[in-house]
């Protein structure tokens, strides 16, 4: 039995619920029997190790702990997990990866070792890092992890020459996008997307009633304040943040505020909103992950400024054609193919007839 794999599966259950904390899974095994398991609960509640220890009870003494991230060794909203592991009498701890948080960074493992607990690091580390990718960037840089998502035809179009885009991708792809929204702290689009599509930008997997998860923050980049205060994003559940330039007339800002939007005024950089400043401010609000869903101008600006970390592209087996049909990424782009932005750790996955390409920006 691969107990670390089981812990990773548990960690995925915490995704979308625990930010800015990492999604962690833990499994406790004694005499080849799982006696406890758990995953991170919402901020202020139990971490994965504590949840597993509670389930194991006295059976934890002398048992082996498998956990996807090094146990924390500091007081935050909750006491340190390392102390709970020691007090429970765990004899051995297997960690998929060390915690990159500067106030942990191996200290949790060292604390366990000093108490005579054997520690091992590295099993399924790549999978653990993917689950924690947003946390890793946020905790080490203060900036959110940015994923660019778009759906295109085989010839790279995101809409016809008339602007019609419903629907290029199939239903299976669109369902998966709602899962992506569920795991993200924020969804970001440009003004043209709101004007052209009047989207809802909500997550249909958020649940209902007492178990409902908060909708991801909707972030609209609209330097000139061009979208309508009547757009349906303002009447959907959840919060909408409108990033605007300081030159937007006061009466327009007041209309947005009456519609329920929170306004964030940003400086202009080369005639457009300073997207680096926007992401920094989102990081200051403990937004660890941003899913950017278009349009081409916003995506182009983010790629031009090297602000994207990951790309998810859904390619549908259709041909749209037309010189005036829109492409997924606008902006300045590169002059030579040799300078093109490249992806690494690329994966392909089928969603119905569509193919999703998933990869990370290759840094120089």
- Residues with active-site annotation: 49
Helix and strand counts by DSSP (H, E) for the chain? 11, 16
Cα distances (Å, whole numbers) of residue 61 to 85, 95, 284: 10, 18, 41
Question: Using CA atoms, how far apart are residues 180 and 150, in angstroms rounded to an integer?
Answer: 12
HSE at residue 160, side-chain half, CA atoms within 13 A, is 9
DSSP 73: -
Between strands 310-315 and 354-361, the pairing is: antiparallel
Question: Using CA atoms, how far apart are residues 313 and 354, in angstroms rounded to an integer?
Answer: 10
Evaluate whether 23 touches 131 at the Cβ level (below 8 Å): yes
Cα distances (Å, whole numbers) of residue 48 to 7, 27, 54, 242: 9, 9, 10, 35
Closest CA to 151 of 166, 133, 162: 166
């Amino acid at each position: 039995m691969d107990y670390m794999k089981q812990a990773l599966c548990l960690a995925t259950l915490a995704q979308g619920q625990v930010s800015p904390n990492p999604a962690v899974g833990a499994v406790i095994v004694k005499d080849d029997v799982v006696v406890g398991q758990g995953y991170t609960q919402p901020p202020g509640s139990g971490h994965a190790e504590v949840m597993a220890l509670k389930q194991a009870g006295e059976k934890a003494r002398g048992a082996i702990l498998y956990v996807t991230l090094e146990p924390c060794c500091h007081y935050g909203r909750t006491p340190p997990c390392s102390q709970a592991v020691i007090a429970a009498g765990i004899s051995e701890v297997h960690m998929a990866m060390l915690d990159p948080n500067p106030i942990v960074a191996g200290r949790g493992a060292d604390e366990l070792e000093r108490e005579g607990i054997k520690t091992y690091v590295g099993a399924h580390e790549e999978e653990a890092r993917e689950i924690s990718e947003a946390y890793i960037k946020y905790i080490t840089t203060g900036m959110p992890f940015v994923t660019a998502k778009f759906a295109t035809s085989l010839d790279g179009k995101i809409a016809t020459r008339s602007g019609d885009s419903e629907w290029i991708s199939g239903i299976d792809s669109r369902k998966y996008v709602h899962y992506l929204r569920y795991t993200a702290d924020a969804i970001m689009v440009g003004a043209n997307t709101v004007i052209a599509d009047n989207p809802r930008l909500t997550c249909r997997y958020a649940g209902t009633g007492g178990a409902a998860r908060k909708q991801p923050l909707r972030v609209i980049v609209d330097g000139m304040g061009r979208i309508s205060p009547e757009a349906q994003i303002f009447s959907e559940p959840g919060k909408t943040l409108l990033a605007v330039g300081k030159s937007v007339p006061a009466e327009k800002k007041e209309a947005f505020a009456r519609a329920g939007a929170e306004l964030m005024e940003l400086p202009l950089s080369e005639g457009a909103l300073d997207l680096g400043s926007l992401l920094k401010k989102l990081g200051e609000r403990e937004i660890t992950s941003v899913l950017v869903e278009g349009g081409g101008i916003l995506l182009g600006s983010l790629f031009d400024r090297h602000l994207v970390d990951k790309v998810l592209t859904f390619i549908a087996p259709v041909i749209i054609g037309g010189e005036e049909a829109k492409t997924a990424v606008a902006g300045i782009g590169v002059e030579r193919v040799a300078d093109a932005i490249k992806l690494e750790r690329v994966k392909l996955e089928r969603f119905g007839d569509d193919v999703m390409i998933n990869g990370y920006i290759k840094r120089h």
